Chains A and B, each alone.
Chain A
Amino acid sequence: MSDIQHNTKTVAILNTQAPFSSSAGKEALDAALIFGSFEQPTSLFFIGDGVFQVIGDQNPTSIESKDYLKTFSALEFYDIDNIYICEQSLSERNLTANFHIDNVQVLSKQAFNELLHQHNVIYRF
C-alpha cells in the first residue's frame, strides 16, 4: 500500500482573483474537483477580488465567457462542503451576502485566517 492511501492532508484553495479576466478561478475550481474526486479533504477560501467569484446575479454568457460559476453548485457531489468567504473583503467592495451558492460561511478576517492556517497544504490562485 502506498503512503498516498493513508494521506489525510487537508487542502486549502485560496481564491484571490475575479472570475473572468483570468483563468485563475476556473483553474482553482478544476483543482478542487480533482482533489474531491480523490477524496482529499478540501476547503475553498475567497479573499480580496476572489469574492467576486461567489456573488450572485452574474451573467458570464453575456460577455461570451463559459459559465464555470454554475459548477460551484456541484461541489457537494465532490464532498466539498467547506466554503469560506472573508467578510472584510465583501464590505471593502460594498458587497452584501448575496451568493450564487448556498452553503457558504462568511467569516471575520481573524476566523478566516485561523481556518486557513489549519490546513496542511495551501494553493493560492
Chain B
Amino acid sequence: MTIIYNNQTLATDKQGYLLDFTQWNEDVAVLLAESDDIELSESHWEVIRFVRTFYLTYNTSPAIRALTKAMKAEFGEEKASSRYLYRLFKEGPAKQATKYAGLPKPARCI
C-alpha cells in the first residue's frame, strides 16, 4: 500500500504503517491520521512526538506499558494513564500513535 504526499509515493504496510520511518514529517502524520478519519489535536501531538523520540532514542517502538511508564516520567501521572491514552487513541495508544509517528508497529502489542 502507499500514501501520496507532495506528489511522492510513500510505501506502507497493509495496516498503513510507513515502511521507511525516515520519510516521516509532521505533514505526513496528518495524512496518516486522516486515512483513519482522525483529526490530530495538541494532545495527540504530545504523544506522537513522544513516541517518535522514544523510537529514535531506543530503536524500538514502545509497547503500551512501556509507553505509560515513560510518559509518566515526562508528563506526570495524569497524562500517563492508559485511560487517558485510550481516550485519545481508541484503537490502542501504542499501536496508533506509533503509526502516526511513522514508526514500525510495536511487536505483539495493543
Given a CB threshold of 8 Å, the question of whether A touches B is answered with yes
Residues of A near any B CB (own CB < 8 A): 30, 33-34, 36-37, 39, 66-68, 70-71, 73-74, 76-79
CB contact under 8 A between A73 and B109, given known A36-B65, A37-B66: no
A34 and B65 alpha carbons, distance in the complex (Å): 10
A54 and B54 alpha carbons, distance in the complex (Å): 20
User: How extensive is the interface on chain B, given as a class?
Assistant: 10 to 19
CB contact under 8 A between A39 and B65, given known A33-B107, A34-B107, A34-B108: yes
CB distance from A50 to the nearest CB of B (A): 20
Instruction: Choose among B70, B107, B108 the residue that contacts A77 (Cβ–Cβ < 8 A).
Output: B70
- Interface presence of B57 (CB below 8 A): yes
A33 to chain B: which residues have CB within 8 Å? 60, 63, 66, 107
CB atoms of A74 and B107 under 8 A apart = no
B67 to chain A: which residues have CB within 8 Å? 77
A37 and B106 alpha carbons, distance in the complex (Å): 11
| Total number of residue pairs linking A and B with CB closer than 8 Å | 49
CB distance from A42 to the nearest CB of B (A): 13
B69 to chain A: which residues have CB within 8 Å? 76-79
- Interface presence of B64 (CB below 8 A): yes
Residues of B near any A CB (own CB < 8 A): 54, 57-60, 62-67, 69-70, 107-109
What are 11 A-B pairs at a CB distance below 8 A?
A36-B66, A37-B63, A37-B64, A37-B65, A37-B66, A68-B60, A70-B58, A71-B59, A73-B58, A78-B69, A79-B65
CB contact under 8 A between A77 and B62, given known A30-B107, A34-B107: yes
B58: nearest chain-A partner, CB-CB: A74
A74: nearest chain-B partner, CB-CB: B58
A30, A33, A36, A39: most-surrounded residue (chain B CB, <10 A): A33
CB distance from A5 to the nearest CB of B (A): 16
A76 and B57 alpha carbons, distance in the complex (Å): 14
